[in-house]
Amino acid sequence: MKENSQKAVDEFFSHADEIGDDLLEDFKEIMGQVPFIFKVLRQRPESFAPTALAEYMTLRPENLDPKTAELITISAAVAADADNCLNVHIKAAMENGATKEEILDTILIAAMIGKTKLLASSLRVFKTHFPDEDIPK
């Protein structure tokens, strides 16, 4: 690493504890709670601070309003089958103005895409076992 970059990294890590505490407060404000994984990772400030900072910046991009960002996060949690994340981000979406209907629509769209992906992959394998059948390519 170049000397100037190393100095900046060292300066950042000299504040890792303070940054970690601030980020926990910010996440509690954003999501209404501190996610379980952050509570555990916080025990390692040198890992937590850069990871949590990156997640904070990603979860609150400057080009999306918080409600939209949370609805997208719900969709990703559905796709990842991450129930605990889904629970946290449904609450955060509600805190940022999402309605029950918007959240339900988000879940249904994400689940439909997941189902379609599974069907498409599975039916392509199915076709390899029955190549002479009248199944369009």
> Range with the lowest mean pLDDT among 90-99, 106-115, 123-132?
123-132
Does the pLDDT at position 75 exceed 90? yes
User: What mean pLDDT is reported for the chain?
Assistant: 92
| Residue ranges of domains in the chain | 1-60, 64-137
Which letter does DSSP use for residue 35 in this model? Answer: -
pLDDT in tens, 111-132: 999 899 889 999 889 889 988 7
Q: What is the pLDDT of residue 32?
A: 84
Q: What is the pLDDT of residue 106?
A: 98
Q: How far is Cα 70 from Cα 111, in angstroms, rounded to an integer? A: 16
Cβ-proximal residues to 93 (8 Å cutoff; 6+ apart), any chain: 67, 70, 71, 73, 74, 102, 103
Of the candidate CATH numbers 3.30.390.10, 1.20.120.330, 1.20.1290.10, 3.30.1280.10, the domain formed by 64-137 belongs to 1.20.1290.10
Name residue 77's amino acid. A
Does the pLDDT at position 135 exceed 70? no
pLDDT in tens, 37-61: 999 999 999 999 999 999 889 989 9
Average pLDDT estimate for 94-109: 97
